[in-house]
Structure 1
C-alpha cells in the first residue's frame, strides 16, 4: 500500500490498515495531542480503529503545541 503522510511517500506491506494501526507503526510512543486528517477530512479519535486507510490516501498528522 502506498500513501502520503505529511507529504512524504510511505509504502506498507499490508492490504488493510486502520488509522490506529498506522499510528502504532508511525508514532508508537507519541499518540497524545494529535489529530488525523485523510483527504482533508478529520477522522475523530473514536473512529481510528475502524477507519481504514486506502491506497493513495493523503494523510496529515497534526500535533498540538502549547503557546500563546
Structure 2
C-alpha cells in the first residue's frame, strides 16, 4: 500500500502522511501504522489525481499531532 495505494500520488502521500494507505474513487481512504492502529477517513471532494483532499489533510494532521510515521 505504501508505494501504490494512491495511484500517481502514492509517493507524495507516503511523504506527507507517513503511513501506508489506500484511496478509493468515492473519497474513502484507509491507512495503517502496522502494529499500532488503522484508520478510515471519508470526504467526497477529490483532487486532480482522484484522491480525497480532506481525507489526506486529516491524516496528515493526525500523524503530525500524534507524531506517528513509518519514517
Q: Highest Rg: 1 or 2?
A: 1
TM-score, normalized by the shorter chain, greater than 0.5: no
TM-score of the superposed pair, with normalisation by structure 1: 0.29
Which is richer in strand?
1
TM-score (norm 2): 0.28
| Between structures 1 and 2, the one with greater helix share | 2
